[in-house]
């Protein structure tokens, strides 16, 4: 899949959880938008792992000539936000808060940059709950007046295609979602 390099289209800011999901969704969205990548993942434990995943997202930005921004790593603030939900299972209430944390940061960045459209790669993974992601996106859309790009990216073989592209681009493939609780 090739990225369309035209720079005169409307912009969309894309929250990228990792390069495996990010490359595939960037190629999809670039058919209609100029994609701006946003790496905002303070959920990740440890900082080394955060940097390791970020390095591959930077490869996407370089290979596809996309603008990219990075959110400051603040795992302490993320832990505070999900406090009390540490023992929840994956796909449970902690994850809902985790999506919310990252998507709120995304819309704040969109507002800072003056970008009207926002999307997240979170729905690529079968380990994430699409209906939670969608409801947060729609709520943030109402609160901010920005436009949420709603799509369950794992559909139409999206998860497989993102993994194929990841292998092709030789990305690091993590074996846990991100936080220390998902390592259990
Ligand atoms: S398991 Fe993944 S989505 Fe859930 S809280 Fe941890 S990092 Fe976030």
The low-confidence residues of the chain, meaning pLDDT below 50, are none
What pLDDT is recorded for position 7? 56
Instruction: Say what the pTM is.
Output: 0.95
Among 49, 125, 179, name the best residue to mutate to test ligand 1's pocket (greatest count of ligand atoms within 8 A of Cβ).
179
pLDDT at 3: 58
CA-closest residue to ligand 1 atom 6: 179
What is the Å distance from ligand 1's center to 119 Cα? 18
CB–CB of 77/42 below 8 Å? yes
43 alpha carbon – ligand 1 mean position (Å):
7
CATH number of the 11-171 domain: 3.40.50.620
H/E element, 161 = helix 158-168
Write the residue with the smallest CA distance to atom 4 of ligand 1: 95
Helix axes 93-113, 130-144, angle to 10 degrees: 40
Q: Decide: 29 and 11 in contact? Cβ < 8 Å.
A: no
**Is the CB of 100 inside a 6 Å radius of any atom of ligand 1?**
no
Q: Classify 114 as helix, strand or coil.
A: coil
């Amino acid at each position: 899949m090739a990225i369309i390099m035209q720079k005169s289209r409307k912009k969309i800011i894309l929250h990228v959880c990792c390069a495996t999901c990010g490359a595939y969704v960037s190629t999809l969205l670039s058919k209609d938008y100029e994609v701006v990548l946003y790496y905002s993942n303070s959920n990740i434990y440890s900082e080394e792992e955060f940097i390791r995943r970020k390095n591959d997202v930077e490869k996407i930005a370089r290979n596809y000539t996309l603008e990219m921004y990075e959110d400051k790593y603040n795992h302490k603030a993320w832990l505070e936000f999900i406090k009390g939900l540490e023992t929840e299972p994956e796909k449970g209430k902690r994850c809902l808060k985790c999506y919310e944390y990252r998507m709120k940061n995304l819309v704040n960045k969109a507002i800072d940059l003056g970008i009207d459209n926002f999307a997240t790669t979170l729905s690529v993974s079968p380990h994430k709950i699409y209906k939670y992601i969608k409801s947060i996106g729609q709520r943030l859309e109402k609160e901010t007046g920005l436009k949420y790009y709603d799509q369950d990216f794992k559909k139409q073989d999206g998860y497989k295609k993102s993994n194929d592209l990841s292998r092709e681009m030789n990305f690091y493939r993590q074996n846990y979602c991100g936080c220390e609780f998902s390592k259990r």
